[in-house]
């Protein structure tokens, strides 16, 4: 009797999970599948919402459609081949995000080593400050960011986003937590062998943290790949905007294009999910509590 109940419970849970999963996946699937629809089909399905339609048949209500009548690459071709706009914006995104990811992780790994290796009142105070800073809403740091960019004369350039991004404390926090798990005996042994601090850092600490660094880089990448607020405020020049911002401003007549370009934009994240999910999950799992 008891066993039967158990099975029933598990079945119910499975169904519940499945329903949730469908809801969670819906936007992803919709974006990808609709990217293969012809513009006319898109307009007839969604035209009602985005009133600026260029004639043709428009259904009275929205049709949420997952399977295109005719699979076509039309949107991709017009987005990627006909004008260089999207490719330029894509390149802008890469130019913004890659330096941030690489430099943030690099600077953070050195700082995390310091927080791991030496402890004391002052340093734990600084660490706590980093945690607070990490938790500040973007709107609070926006004004300071803007002021500094003005002083340094880097406003409207990529650097106004890259530089603050480089020093964001998130990686420091997470990497410190990973590094503190390295057995102290390893460091001691290296020290006895006569290694200097820099050598301990590069030869002992970093190799031990390889997967941690990878997972942090993934988290930072996903966060900045979808940034909108920073470029909106700090990059007035439309030409240097990343694709994440440009995608959001696609006008009503080009929804089909928006789906296709969003899909292209999703490719790096999709690859991460396919090949690096274990790292991603590990990174998230370890950001779990504020204490080192």
Partner 1 sequence: MNNRVQKKNKAFDFLKSLCFLFPSLLGVGVFFILPFGVVIYYSMIDGPITKNFVLFENFTKLFQNSAFRLAAKNTLSFSAMAVPLAVVLAVALALMLESRIPMKSQFRTFFLSPMMVPVASVVLVWQVLFNYNGTINELFLFGGGKIDWLQSEYAQIVVLLLFLWKNLGYNMILFMAGLANIPKELLEVADVEGASAAYKFFAIKLRYLSPTVLFVMILSLINSFKVFREVYLLAGAYPYDPLYTLQHFMNNTFGSMDYQKLSAAAVLMALVMVVIIALLFLAEDWFGKDVEG
Residue of 37, 97, 108, 209 that binds partner 1 (CB under 8 A): 108
Cα(47)–Cα(253) distance, integer angstroms: 9
71 near partner 1 (CB under 8 A) = no
98 near partner 1 (CB under 8 A) = no
- Give the shortest CB-270-to-partner 1 separation in angstroms: 6
Question: Within 3-32, which residues bind partner 1 (CB under 8 A)?
Answer: 9-10, 13-14, 16-17, 20-21, 23-28, 30-31
- Give the shortest CB-30-to-partner 1 separation in angstroms: 6
Question: Within 50-69, which residues bind partner 1 (CB under 8 A)?
Answer: 60-62, 64
Cα(86)–Cα(243) distance, integer angstroms: 7
- Give the shortest CB-255-to-partner 1 separation in angstroms: 7
- Give the shortest CB-283-to-partner 1 separation in angstroms: 9
Residue with tokens 């938790």, as numbered in its chain: 135
Contacts with partner 1 by CB under 8 A: the residue count is 91
- Tell me which stretch binds partner 1 (CB under 8 A): 45-53, 75-83, 186-194, 206-214: 45-53
- Give the shortest CB-38-to-partner 1 separation in angstroms: 17
- Give the shortest CB-276-to-partner 1 separation in angstroms: 11
- Give the shortest CB-121-to-partner 1 separation in angstroms: 11
Residue of 148, 182, 195, 206 that binds partner 1 (CB under 8 A): 148
136 near partner 1 (CB under 8 A) = yes
Question: Within 157-216, which residues bind partner 1 (CB under 8 A)?
Answer: 163-164, 166-167, 169, 172, 197, 201
Instruction: Write out the two tokens for 33.
Output: 């599948």
133 near partner 1 (CB under 8 A) = yes
Question: Within 240-279, which residues bind partner 1 (CB under 8 A)?
Answer: 244, 247-248, 250, 255, 258-259, 262, 265-266, 269-270, 272-273, 277
């Amino acid at each position: 009797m008891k066993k039967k109940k158990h099975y029933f419970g598990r079945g119910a849970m499975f169904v519940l999970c499945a329903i949730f999963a469908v809801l969670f996946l819906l936007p992803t699937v919709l974006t990808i599948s609709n990217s293969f629809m012809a513009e006319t089909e898109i307009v007839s399905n969604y035209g009602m919402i985005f009133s600026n339609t260029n004639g043709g048949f428009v259904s009275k209500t929205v049709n949420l459609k997952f399977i295109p009548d005719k699979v076509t690459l039309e949107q991709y071709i017009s987005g990627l081949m006909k004008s260089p706009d999207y490719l330029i914006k894509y390149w802008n995104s890469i130019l913004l995000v890659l330096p941030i990811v690489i430099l943030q992780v690099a600077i953070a790994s050195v700082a995390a080593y310091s927080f791991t290796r030496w402890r004391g009142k002052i340093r734990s105070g600084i660490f706590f400050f980093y945690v607070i800073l990490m938790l500040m809403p973007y709107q609070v740091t926006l004004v300071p960011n803007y002021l500094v960019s003005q002083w340094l004369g880097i406003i409207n350039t990529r650097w106004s986003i890259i530089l603050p991004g480089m020093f964001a404390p998130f990686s420091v926090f997470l990497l410190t937590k990973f590094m503190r798990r390295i057995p102290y005996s390893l460091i001691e042994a290296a020290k006895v062998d006569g290694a200097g601090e820099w050598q301990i850092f590069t030869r002992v600490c970093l190799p031990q943290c390889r997967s941690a660094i990878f997972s942090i880089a993934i988290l930072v990448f996903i966060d900045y790949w979808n940034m909108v607020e920073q470029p909106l405020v700090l990059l007035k020049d439309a030409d240097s905007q990343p694709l994440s911002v440009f995608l959001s401003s696609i006008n009503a007549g080009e929804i089909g294009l928006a789906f296709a370009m969003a899909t292209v934009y999703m490719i790096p994240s999709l690859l991460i999910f396919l090949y690096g999910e274990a790292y991603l999950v590990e990174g998230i799992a370890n950001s779990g509590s504020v204490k080192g």
